[in-house]
Structure 1
């Protein structure tokens, strides 16, 4: 049995797929990126762009806005908890496809309601669908790529959400009411239709394992033995907790930023919604390259130093909007955040495969993502509460910057990874 095969994952004996000299691993990676465009780009990050118009039409408070974000993360956590049970049985292809249809159904629900409780319920479903896309698309790269190219491949997958941010930044400010639907409801309707199309594409192109298309993983074969454990070992628990704490800090801090930075631009910086949308789109444009860049960097300097470098740039981005109220500081913050936003998830997904082995990568990534999602759930709620007390989000951004520096220290305390 191959060392990097997940034994319990079904192998669909489909005919070999030939695309000239292109290794099918890259087809899987690009398809995963398109799925992530919907799962995260539209399923989560478009929310920050739609939030100002939703808040205005529904008279939502900062706390209610935070609760909506929290609802999404509750759904995401549910998906994370279920993934280790579902993935081995159904595989990435079916799980990812079904999750995209769940996102589409939830967005259709949001497009036809103005009830806050119903919006929360539907956004929980969106979170479930998002988690059901992210974990499979990230963990399957450990099967398709050896460590020499794993970070780069994961960076390509994480380029997808950036295009979702770009689309929402340009499209949302131009949305108009459609029949009885408000502009933000029209947005959810459009995003639902896109999810349906991408779900069909995912089912057509994603494969669970290289054996399904008579390929071997792409990249340089490791010189040291590859772990082939089916499950996480107790000896790895300390490392898993250490990585989970780092990922939780990232989840809390970055979620505060992506949820409320557009609200801050419109409120604190007095920018129009169209101008804020243009700046938001710049985050998306820069983020397209961030995952690939830091994935490549971590492939060469190691995951430990890659994490520390990523959190350094995040800390500066948070503090620029937490400590200043000048527009140049905002623009520099946007550039830095976009430059580094997908770095930590990419490196963490690579860590799951590198430290725990391809077979246990999905379980390790699920545990890490649970910590990440816990941080995401708490961040927006805490930031919304602080904003109610202080009138803006500056304190929240400052706390995020301090937490990012703590994460740098935690990253440097990791043991250097043994070369593969």
Structure 2
């Protein structure tokens, strides 16, 4: 037994452990969910999908994410946080490989469903475990927690550096090669997660008070709006850049700017997240996210797209981190898995409905600009709702 295996012993290297733990959302979200946006234009052309069909793929992924979030707390109580993080990440790797095997709409839908379930298991359990590890150094806890939520940026950056150029070199219809390369990359990223001596934090499951929605319903509504709003930007922006004449280099640069911005998130927002125990920090960050989403409507110059990617990216990852900070401030440690799961469920419902709605609007109007407008408005509404959340008395 190592020091990290003892639930009463603080971890010796919390930053290192959380960075390793961040590989779970790197694979599950950064690659498992968002690499789809890079491959979507070629998939639409090759498989002759409508925007509604393209949106459905993210909807079924989000439905899996919602199902995984609903199941996580009970699975954690039975198997422990570390085991669920690892199992969820491995499921995401398997789903990526499955996407490379068939162009069948049903098979791809099943793969996206599995990816969503696995990502939720890894994210919710990983978030609770990262929060526990961060508490070992209270003065740095906000910074340490932000390291976990920068994980998806690694996946977005790595997929952005590879996929557009791979598709350009391999030619039309090569989307399945992209999925295969992403599966191999994700498998390599999963190895450190499997080998690290992650703390089990077995004490989190017992004696938790029941989570009640009423004190935080307005905050959950705001997070729901974030889930519904961000997904349109992250699903269709690469298609938007391509339709505006952007080639592989432009698509890669745009996507990499979103991913790279995640690395400055811990420094940009740590004071904001530490200043308020209610919903105001989430409001500020979500408001910035809405600004990033609306900027492409004012022009598609390289500079405007770069600013949009940076503003959206640096705030996108921080919104999720701010909700976990809210949980840490307002709930006892034993309640963290259940509270994080509740936040993830609200988010999951939003991102389940968002792609279908936006895809239908885009098909009806015939312009991707409408998708961005709906996205920005939804994010702005989420910011307004979050402002009404007040701090809770910790149970």
What residue is the counterpart of 2:148 in the other structure?
Answer: 157
Query: Structure 2: how far apart are the matches of 1:201 and 1:329?
Result: 38
In structure 2, the CA distance between the partners of 1:135 and 1:270, relative to structure 1 (3 Å rule), is same
Q: Find the partner of 1:106 among 69, 91, 95.
A: 95
Query: Structure 2: how far apart are the matches of 1:211 and 1:247?
Result: 28
Query: Structure 2: how far apart are the matches of 1:258 and 1:366?
Result: 22
Shift of 1:144: 1.8
Tell me, yes or no, if structure 1 residue 242 matches structure 2 residue 218.
Answer: yes
What residue is the counterpart of 1:9 in the other structure?
Answer: none
Contact 1:323 1:398 in 2 (8 A): no
Query: Structure 1: how far apart are the matches of 2:146 and 2:321?
Result: 6
In structure 2, the CA distance between the partners of 1:324 and 1:198, relative to structure 1 (3 Å rule), is closer
What residue is the counterpart of 1:215 in the other structure?
Answer: none
Which has the larger share of helix? 2
Query: Structure 2: how far apart are the matches of 1:270 and 1:385?
Result: 24
Contact 2:330 2:391 in 1 (8 A): no
In structure 2, the CA distance between the partners of 1:355 and 1:276, relative to structure 1 (3 Å rule), is same
In structure 2, the CA distance between the partners of 1:247 and 1:206, relative to structure 1 (3 Å rule), is farther
* Equivalent position SS for 2:389: coil
What residue is the counterpart of 2:352 in the other structure?
Answer: 377
> How high is the TM-score relative to the length of structure 1?
0.84
Q: Find the partner of 1:407 among 376, 382, 392.
A: 382
Query: Structure 1: how far apart are the matches of 2:82 and 2:194?
Result: 6
> How high is the TM-score relative to the length of structure 2?
0.90
Tell me, yes or no, if structure 1 residue 33 matches structure 2 residue 22.
Answer: yes
Q: Find the partner of 2:269 among 294, 302, 315.
A: 294
Tell me, yes or no, if structure 1 residue 192 matches structure 2 residue 183.
Answer: yes
Q: Determine which structure has more spread, i.e. the larger CA radius of gyration.
A: 1
Query: Structure 2: how far apart are the matches of 1:380 and 1:243?
Result: 22
Q: Find the partner of 2:280 among 298, 305, 310.
A: 305
Structure 1: gaps spanning 5 or more residues: 1-13, 213-227
C-alpha offsets along residues 317-374 of structure 1, whole Å, 9 cap, x if unaligned?
A: 2222245455543332222102211111001112122212211111011111111011
Query: Structure 1: how far apart are the matches of 2:79 and 2:317?
Result: 27
Tell me, yes or no, if structure 1 residue 172 matches structure 2 residue 148.
Answer: no
What residue is the counterpart of 2:232 in the other structure?
Answer: 256
> Pairwise mapping of residues 309-324 of structure 1 onto structure 2 (< 5 A)?
309-324=284-299
Query: Structure 1: how far apart are the matches of 2:110 and 2:91?
Result: 13
* Equivalent position SS for 1:85: helix
Contact 1:353 1:361 in 2 (8 A): yes
> Pairwise mapping of residues 3-402 of structure 1 onto structure 2 (< 5 A)?
14-16=1-3, 23-146=12-135, 148-175=139-166, 182-209=173-200, 230-234=208-212, 237-267=213-243, 269-291=244-266, 293-302=268-277, 304-324=279-299, 327-402=302-377
Spell out structure 1 runs of 4+ moving beyond 6 A.
none
In structure 2, the CA distance between the partners of 1:210 and 1:380, relative to structure 1 (3 Å rule), is closer
Query: Structure 2: how far apart are the matches of 1:85 and 1:102?
Result: 18
Contact 1:154 1:292 in 2 (8 A): no
C-alpha offsets along residues 364-392 of structure 1, whole Å, 9 cap, x if unaligned?
A: 11111111011111111111111111112
Shift of 1:130: 0.9
Structure 2: gaps spanning 5 or more residues: none
Shift of 1:211: 8.8
Shift of 1:98: 1.3
* Equivalent position SS for 1:230: coil
Query: Structure 1: how far apart are the matches of 2:99 and 2:168?
Result: 14
* Equivalent position SS for 2:279: helix
Shift of 1:210: 6.4
Shift of 1:209: 4.4
Contact 2:282 2:322 in 1 (8 A): yes
